[in-house]
């Protein structure tokens, strides 16, 4: 084993270990949410994941962005199948080991990878233009100020660099094969690199081409390790989370709210004096109405936050946002993730092992008020446009409703208009001030 094989193993193990460490933190953060059992209608869930997450059916609603995204996504994933060969070559010191196993199929695969690499580059360039030159409205709103705006550009540029290194490596390899250099066996088919890059590199010396080929090879594997460890800090973690997030998505009718058993029992007692509510466990933790902080939300809400692609499709169709209100469903999800990350850092800082058993705030902050204001929440019309538009089936509305429940039922902080309606419903069983006995007065003369 050479020094290069040892160095390769060190980079591989370090990258895999760091990625595992970061992913375990994210899983820990998601599990800070309230328990929620989701295991029904499994067949329908697999079909939904196949259609939405893999087939990207919601992406192509906007054809240009949808087709480009599919091209970049499929291209990047398929091309990285070549990482299998890079891993084997890096560990054992071989060169294009799969060519001896796959035969002619290897040539077809490499040629396909090259065309896909070109597609990825084109798609990323289009996305960079849309974000930085065309300035689409959903990409320049203030909720993307700071790191979120840079994040997208970092990923797009990284993908362009990785694909360019892949093609440049192949071009140098192709030239070295033609010169009969030992170790560079004549295998593979390189249509794209031969067309665009070989004419540029053909005049260089053999030793320099070997440096180029090896440099691009190392850049590719180090770049992939760096990319892998960047995505847990990035919105691009949806590359991994989109699939389980869609599988666990809400399959009930849009707009159906979850009943709270404690409230339901109170209503039943009011309507039927003979109703006997279930006994309350004296050792149970007192229930809280709605959500004030991220730990009051369900684990699915928190998975939604980590799955957000920050594409802004939800905000672009939100009627409140369109009419100038403060609400942005994208910001709701980003704020939830930011607060959850902050809670996670506080847990690590204070070395708390079982946070769920003592979920009091460690910093006297909360998702409500410190991140999301009541003005944002009350601007929501609960129309579900954001839920319908999300390409990975995220449900911002559920978080909004839970925060509003807390405002109403824990803090009695509903707007005056709603308080009037609540009083009317309590006294008159309807939203209006008229007594039930007078409800049909309008029809007396009919």
pLDDT at 446 over 90: no
For residue 358, name the pLDDT band (cuts at 50, 70, 90).
low
141 and 114 in a common domain: yes
Instruction: Express each pLDDT in 129-188 by its tens digit.
Output: 998 999 888 888 888 888 888 998 999 999 999 999 999 999 999 999 989 888 888 888
Residue 372 phi/psi, 5° resolution? -115, 125
Q: Which residue has the higher pLDDT, 76 or 186?
A: 186
* Cα distance between the two ends of the chain: 98
Whether 341 is covered by a domain: the verdict is yes
Cα–Cα–Cα angle for 187, 164, 222, rounded to 5 degrees:
90
426 and 406 in a common domain: no
pLDDT winner (highest mean) among 32-36, 220-224, 333-337: 333-337
278 and 338 in a common domain: yes
Q: Which residue has the higher pLDDT, 261 or 359?
A: 261
Whether 336 is covered by a domain: the verdict is yes
Smallest Cα–Cα separation from 100: which of 90, 114, 85?
85
Q: Is 385 exposed, middle or buried (0-12, 13-18, 19+ CB in 10 A)?
A: buried
269 and 209 in a common domain: no
pLDDT at 246 over 80: yes
* pTM confidence score: 0.87
- pLDDT on residue 237: 92
**Burial letters for 339-352: b for 16+ Cβ neighbours within 10 Å, e otherwise?**
bbbbbbeebeeeee
Cα 55 to Cα 172, 235, 435: the distances in Å are 36, 20, 54
Question: Helix axis angle, 396-409 relative to 299-307, nearest 10°?
Answer: 130
Q: Are 356 and 32 in contact (CB under 8 A)?
A: yes
Whether 181 is covered by a domain: the verdict is yes
Instruction: Express each pLDDT in 262-321 by its tens digit.
Output: 788 877 877 787 888 777 766 655 578 899 999 999 999 999 999 999 999 999 999 999
Give the domain CATH number at 332. 1.10.1060
Cα 185 to Cα 97, 190, 224, 399: the distances in Å are 10, 14, 25, 58
pLDDT at 200 over 90: yes
Q: Are 388 and 268 in contact (CB under 8 A)?
A: no
Listing DSSP states for 237-274 in one string gives: GHHHHHHHHHHTS--SPTTPPPPPHHHHHHHHHHH-TT
- pLDDT on residue 259: 81
**Domain that includes residue 216, residue range:** 3-30+62-236
Residue 146 phi/psi, 5° resolution? 90, -140
Q: Are 321 and 385 in contact (CB under 8 A)?
A: no
pLDDT at 368 over 80: yes
Q: Are 163 and 120 in contact (CB under 8 A)?
A: yes
446 and 341 in a common domain: no
Whether 45 is covered by a domain: the verdict is no
363 and 288 in a common domain: yes
For residue 357, name the pLDDT band (cuts at 50, 70, 90).
low
426 and 401 in a common domain: no
pLDDT at 425 over 60: yes
Rg (CA), the chain: 28
Question: How much of the chain, in percent, has pLDDT values that exceed 70?
Answer: 97
396 and 269 in a common domain: yes
**How far from the centroid of its chain's Cα atoms is residue 85's Cα?**
29
Q: What is the mean pLDDT of the chain?
A: 89
Give the Cβ contact number of residue 105 at 10 Å: 11
Whether 387 is covered by a domain: the verdict is yes
Listing DSSP states for 143-164 in one string gives: GGTTHHHHHHHHHHHHHHHHHH
Whether 221 is covered by a domain: the verdict is yes
For residue 1, name the pLDDT band (cuts at 50, 70, 90).
low
Whether 92 is covered by a domain: the verdict is yes
For residue 359, name the pLDDT band (cuts at 50, 70, 90).
low
391 and 311 in a common domain: yes
d(CA 292, CA 369): 9
177 and 155 in a common domain: yes
pLDDT at 106 over 80: yes
377 and 268 in a common domain: yes
Read off the DSSP letter of residue 444: T
- Beta bridge partners, 368, equal 372
- pLDDT on residue 442: 83
Going by C-beta distance under 8 Å and a sequence separation of 6 or more, which residues neighbour residue 73?
56, 239
Q: Are 116 and 124 in contact (CB under 8 A)?
A: no
- Beta bridge partners, 298, equal 34
189 and 271 in a common domain: no
Smallest Cα–Cα separation from 242: which of 128, 73, 126?
73
Whether 53 is covered by a domain: the verdict is no
- pLDDT on residue 433: 82
Number of domains in the chain: 3
Instruction: Express each pLDDT in 110-123 by its tens digit.
Output: 999 999 999 999 99
């Amino acid at each position: 084993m050479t020094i290069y094989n040892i160095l390769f193993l060190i980079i591989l193990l370090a990258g895999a270990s760091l990625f595992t460490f970061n992913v375990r933190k994210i899983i820990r953060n998601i599990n800070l949410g309230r328990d929620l059992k989701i295991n029904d209608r499994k067949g329908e869930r697999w079909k939904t994941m196949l259609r939405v997450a893999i087939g990207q059916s919601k992406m192509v609603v906007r054809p240009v962005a949808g087709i480009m995204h599919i091209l970049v996504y499929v291209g990047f994933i398929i091309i990285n199948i070549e990482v299998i060969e890079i891993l084997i070559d890096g560990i054992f010191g071989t060169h294009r080991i799969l060519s001896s196993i796959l035969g002619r199929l290897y040539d077809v695969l490499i040629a396909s990878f090259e065309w896909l690499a070109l597609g990825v580059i084109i798609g990323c360039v289009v996305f960079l233009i849309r974000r930085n030159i065309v300035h689409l409205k959903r990409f320049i709103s203030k909720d993307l100020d700071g790191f979120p705006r840079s994040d997208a550009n970092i990923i797009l540029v990284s993908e362009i660099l990785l694909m360019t290194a892949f093609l440049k490596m192949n071009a140098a390899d192709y030239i070295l094969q033609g010169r009969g250099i030992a170790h560079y066996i004549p295998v593979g088919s390189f249509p794209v690199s031969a067309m665009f890059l070989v004419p540029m590199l053909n005049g260089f010396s053999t030793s320099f081409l070997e440096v180029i080929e090896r440099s691009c090879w190392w850049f590719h594997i180090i770049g992939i390790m760096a990319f892998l460890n960047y995505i847990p800090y990035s919105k691009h973690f949806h590359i991994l989370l989109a699939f389980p997030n869609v599988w666990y998505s809400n399959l009930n009718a849009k707009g159906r709210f979850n009943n709270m058993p404690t409230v339901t029992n109170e209503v039943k007692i009011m309507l039927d004096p003979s109703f006997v509510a279930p006994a309350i466990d004296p050792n149970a933790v007192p229930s809280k109405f709605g959500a004030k902080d991220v730990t009051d939300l369900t684990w699915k809400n928190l998975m939604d936050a980590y799955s957000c692609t920050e594409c802004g499709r939800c905000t672009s169709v939100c009627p409140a946002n369109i009419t100038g209100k403060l609400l942005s469903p994208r910001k709701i999800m980003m704020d939830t993730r930011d607060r959850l990350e902050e809670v996670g850092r506080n847990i690590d800082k204070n070395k708390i092992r079982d946070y769920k058993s003592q979920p009091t705030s460690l910093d006297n902050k909360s998702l409500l008020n410190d991140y999301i204001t009541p003005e944002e929440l009350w601007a929501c019309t609960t129309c579900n446009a954001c839920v319908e538009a999300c390409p990975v089936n995220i449900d911002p509305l559920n978080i909004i409703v839970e925060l509003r429940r807390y405002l109403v039922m824990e803090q009695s902080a509903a707007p005056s208009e709603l308080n009037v309606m609540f009083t009317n419903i309590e006294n008159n069983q309807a939203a209006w001030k008229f007594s039930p006995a007078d409800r049909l007065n309008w029809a007396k003369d009919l």
